[in-house]
Amino acid sequence: MAAKGGLLMLENFIGGKFLPCSSYLDSYDPSTGEVYCHVPNSGKEEVEAAVEAARAAFPGWSSRSPQERSQVLQRLADLLEQSLEELAQAESKDQGKTITLARTMDIPRAVQNFRFFASSILHHTSECTQMDHLGYLHYTVRAPVGIGVPPGVVNIVFGTGPRVGEALVSHPEVPLISFTGSQPTAERITQLSAPHCKKLSLELGGKNPAIIFEDANLDECIPTTVRSSFANQGEICLSTSRIFVQKSIYSEFLKRFVEATRMWKVGIPSDPSADMGALISKAHLEKVRSYIKKARMEGAQILCGEGVDKLNLPPRNQAGYFMLPTVITDVKDESCCMKEEIFGPVTCVVPFDSEEEVIQRANSVKYGLAATVWSGNVGRVHRVAKKLQSGLVWTNCWLIRELNLPFGGMKRSGVGREGAKDSYEFFTEVKTITVKH
């Protein structure tokens, strides 16, 4: 990292060294709308250098024992933990999220991931089958596909999708791609990688429903559903954006939910009392606001938030990318607000009558990432969870993760799964060896 004109200037990290780039992009502080750093505008040349560095590092790193690689990952976790506050401040400034969320979730979660997989790689076993009557022994081994942490093992190349992204995913010596992002980008990645038969893991969008039955504990359900709808400004792929409430409790739920939403504080990311910060960019803020306009044009009601309540910000942050958490009602299932991923602090609340009806409506979108079910009836919880077309279903809770278990979506929410076993299988190639004895 360097400084130019008082602004931070990031550099690519290739072959264990920080390297400057011939051109740079402006990066904006979402809380002020001002340029706060410059990011490399990399292209094919930088990608080629990174691939070459990775290729040179691969033999040495892949031949290390699991114990050695585990120690490296644990050391990385230690370093992240030691720099937690510095990293949290950087993440909050770059993304616009509250410093509280970065401190308590983002960086600790990164540490947890490194520690989990550092332990996990020590406990995988291979398969073995004997054919004694024929005198053969079959067993499997797994060969690494990607690489890890000495010079060249991890390379970071900044840039835009059309320049550096396309150069990377179409490179013939990049054997697999793990991508988190939008469906259109995933389609482009699939097109570019298809001629090379690359392995793909795609974690894409969601239009995640919360189904709230009349026997739900609203004292737990309402604050959790406010959080699942608006945490990190709704910029979480697992956020709740469609809330189906059984008719008998619809009015009570709606009243209490709007009251609780209005209690959520939108403030500058450095404010420890803020529940929400700024959205990631000006373009994204305008996109999210466009859905509110479409909802109004369709005759929907905006009960709180954008265009209804006043947003109070300090003078320096008036040009930041902030908006209030917004609740929409009287919206039809066919509306774009009920069908498309908004990825912002916007949720729709609609009533339903029966269990069969709400399952059909919840499944009526092209996505299938996550869902939440709220009910005190254990039988119903299992029944509904089984019928929902979602890769993850939380019941009477939200965002509780177990890294041993698969994570990923159905339908157009992605391809593949992440988790201990699934990640191990994705990032390695299995080889069957037969020995005659």
Catalytic annotation, residues = 203
Give the contacts of 224 (CB within 8 A, at least 6 positions apart): 397, 398
| Maximum C-alpha span of the chain | 82
Give the contacts of 397 (CB within 8 A, at least 6 positions apart): 224, 372
- SS3 string, the chain, reads CEEECCEEECCEEECCEEECCCCEEEEEECCCCEEEEEEECCCHHHHHHHHHHHHHHHHHHHCCCHHHHHHHHHHHHHHHHHCHHHHHHHHHHHHCCCHHHHHHHHHHHHHHHHHHHHHHCCCCCCCEEEECCCCEEEEEEEEECCCCCCCCCCCECCCCHHHHHHHHHCCCCCCEEEEECCHHHHHHHHHHHHHHCCEEEEECCCCEEEEECCCCCHHHHHHHHHHHHHHHHHCCCCCEEEEEEEHHHHHHHHHHHHHHHHCCCECCCCCCCCCECCCCCHHHHHHHHHHHHHHHHCCCEEEECCCCCCCCCCHHHCCCCCCCCEEEECCCCCCHHHHCCCCCCEEEEEEECCHHHHHHHHCCCCEECEEEEECCCHHHHHHHHHHCCCCEEEECCCCCCCCCCCECCEECCEECCECHHHHHHHCEEEEEEEEEC
Question: d(Cα 355, Cα 367) in Å, to the nearest integer?
Answer: 20
Question: d(Cα 261, Cα 293) in Å, to the nearest integer?
Answer: 20
Question: d(Cα 421, Cα 286) in Å, to the nearest integer?
Answer: 40
